[in-house]
Chain A
Amino acid sequence: MGAITKRKKNLALVYIVWGYIIWSLVPVVIAVIYSFNNGRSRTVWQGFSLRWWFTDPYASVFRNPETRNAITNSLVLAVATLFVVTPLGITLAIGSQRLRGRGGKVVQGLTSTPLITPEIVIGAALLITFTRLFTAVPLGFAAQLLGNVTFSLASVVVIVRARLVSIGPSFEEAARDLGASRWQALRFVLLPMLWPSIMASLVVVFATVIDDFVITSFLSAGVGSETVPLRIYSSVKGGATPALNALATLLVLTSFTVLIIGLFGLSTWRKRHGERGGLRAALADVTQLDS
């Protein structure tokens, strides 16, 4: 095959890649643009305005009481999940990576299964559990918190465990040789080195929970525990105004803000600690791509 046909073939690939990128992003960009529509339509442009964001006293995202309630619920749920799942996930990652024998295998199997179980199965199983077995847990915030922790625990374990593997045992062994107790080696040597993976899991879990629809919806108890995705879902089905687009845009902006802060934090940390830095390594931390 000559050089020219080869370039032609690559050119076809280039078109596919850019075509895909346009296809995957342009509809979302259009939806964002229509959140600034001056009319009630989400499909016909009637001039620019901020009415669905701020100015409309009843319908705008930041002034509608139900929408504000959903935003608060989403943030509270995400932060609460982080507080529970982070310590739980870090200890489970360390424990499951170092346990040997059959016990270790069982624990590893148990931690990796939720990651590949469809959300509807987890949501349905927890709904049945909280309504018929653990009836002390009321549907709503408590059930949603327990459900989201269960679902996101596996991703924390995966991220932290990958870091544990790349660190290896030698630093702790060196600390022990120099007189540190096992606990001191964990606390002062291993834990600081785990920081990038902890930061990455904070970002990933926050984004997962704030975007979660299925589990949060199965375990919700009406308007009082409605989160932003639930509100978006129920409004898409009704005839909604561009305030819906604005709310969805806000959700996307929130996860991107967290992602960018996380990436920035990660690359600064790496630079300061003399690890290979840059956006690429930080992206790899967050997406679990070892490139």
Chain B
Amino acid sequence: MKSSPRLWAGFAIPGTAWLLILFAIPFYAVACVAFGTIDPIFRDAVPQWNPIAWDFTQAQQVFTSLTTGPLRNVAVRTIAYVICAMTLCFIIGFPIAYFLARHAGKRKLLLLVLIIVPFWVNYLMRMLAWVNLLSNDGLFTRFMRIFGVNYNWLDGSPITVVLGLVYGYIPFLILPLYATLERLDWRLIDAARDLGANSRQAFRLVTVPMSKAGLVAAGILIALPMFGDYYTNDLLSRSPSTEMIGNQIDFFLNASTQPQNGALLVIALSMFLLLLMSFYLRSTRQQSRETTR
């Protein structure tokens, strides 16, 4: 196979060129708008295609706004919501993945199919389902009134947004978690038990360390899209009091006359996520090294 690198390069060229033109260059275009100038008459962003002439004054303003100014709340809220949603996803998702991998027995295929189903149900449909249930005369709202809970779920409630994120992204966590746990060599855990560890110790000292890389990878895999989410928020709350960074990007690029701010926020978000991605790549690499060992 090694004998014809030119042929394989030929195979790789069309797809690589596509990604360079429509994935790599667009990031450059975002930077050119972000570090460009603003037309004094039309107030529109004027991209600066020459990186040497990039102007960082607006970038500084947005950065100040994100760290100390009005956008700070949005940034903090985004991180807080994602952390809450992630924690809940793990609390709910881990036992499910664990059960599927370890104890499902004969029912495994059935359970697996039922857990994969939400994967294939459109995200908007799943949100729409909750909008119906949570609206003022919705089934869930009426059900909760029986217990005296009279809560306005769809009016800027952070609880609804976080639970919406959990509901939306948890299927994408359970499957990779299951795949990780499925691959574990359970004989080692049995060995730990035989050597005197109780089940909690075996879990803490053997199961968790062995699956750590997979857990981190799965967590980051859902953290990335959550950080960029704006539609969950938009559908379940629509209130400025629960806005996340994605909502601001959507607003600046699609509804305002300040695309430059949108471009700057895209860059800020990408830089932040780049950190997470490098963690992800490192842990998947570690994981594949562990499984091939």
Contact = CB atoms under 8 A, between A and B. Distances in A.
Contact of B269 (A89, A121, A252): A121
A233 B7 contact: no
Interface centre among A20, A110, A211, A251 (most CB of B within 10 A): A20
Given A27-B133, A94-B11, A133-B29, A236 B128 contact: yes
Nearest to B253: A124
A198 interface: no
Interface residues of B, number: 98
A91 B254 contact: no
Nearest to B234: A237
B8 A43 contact: no
A110 B23 contact: yes
Instruction: Choose among A43, A120, A280 the residue with the greatest number of B CB atoms under 10 Å from its CB.
Output: A120
Contacts of B24: 110
B228 A118 contact: yes
B132 A43 contact: yes
Contacts of A81: none
A290 B5 CA distance: 30
Given A95-B9, A279-B109, A1 B198 contact: yes
Contacts of A232: 122, 124-125, 128
B130 A182 contact: no
Given A110-B20, A126-B22, A95 B12 contact: yes
Contacts of A16: 92, 95-96, 99
A153 B124 contact: no
Interface string A252-280: 10011001000000000000000000011
Contact of A100 (B2, B19, B29, B249): B2
Interface string B151-193: 0000000000000000100110001001100100000000000
B60 to A, nearest CB: 20
A128 interface: yes
A102 B18 CA distance: 19
B12 A17 contact: no
A116 B155 CA distance: 31
Interface stretch (A28-36, A51-59, A64-72): A28-36
Interface in B120-165: 120-133, 135, 137-139
A21 interface: yes
Interface in B13-40: 13-16, 18-20, 22-27, 29-30, 32-33
Contacts of B182: 289, 291
A100 B5 contact: yes
B103 interface: yes
Q: How large is the interface on A (under 10, 10 to 19, 20 to 34, 35 or more residues)?
A: 35 or more
B114 A21 contact: yes
A182 B4 contact: yes
A127 B253 contact: yes
A42 B132 contact: yes
Nearest to B24: A110
A13 B95 CA distance: 7
Interface stretch (B69-77, B206-214, B259-267): B259-267
A182 B262 CA distance: 50
Interface in A166-215: 169, 172-173, 182, 207, 211, 213-214
A107 B128 contact: no
A218 B252 CA distance: 12
Nearest to A24: B118
A125 interface: yes
B132 A133 contact: no
Contact of B125 (A114, A218, A248): A248
Contact of A110 (B5, B19, B29): B19
Contacts of B175: 287, 289
A132 B120 contact: no
B233 to A, nearest CB: 12
Contact of B225 (A98, A119, A207): A119
A91 B231 contact: no
Contacts of B225: 118-119
Contacts of B118: 24-25, 28
A93 to B, nearest CB: 8
Nearest to A290: B179
A105 B96 CA distance: 36
A95 B228 contact: no
B137 A233 contact: no
Most buried by B among A1, A98, A290: A98
Given A89-B15, A287-B116, 16 more contacts: A17-B100, A31-B129, A88-B14, A91-B14, A95-B9, A98-B11, A113-B277, A125-B29, A132-B29, A132-B47, A153-B15, A214-B231, A236-B131, A237-B234, A248-B125, A251-B122
Q: Which 10 A-B pairs have the closest CB atoms?
A: A95-B12, A92-B15, A118-B228, A95-B11, A125-B26, A27-B129, A31-B129, A120-B228, A248-B125, A98-B8
18 contacts: A14-B99, A16-B99, A27-B129, A28-B125, A31-B129, A34-B132, A96-B16, A116-B221, A118-B227, A118-B228, A118-B246, A120-B249, A128-B29, A232-B125, A245-B132, A249-B125, A255-B121, A289-B182
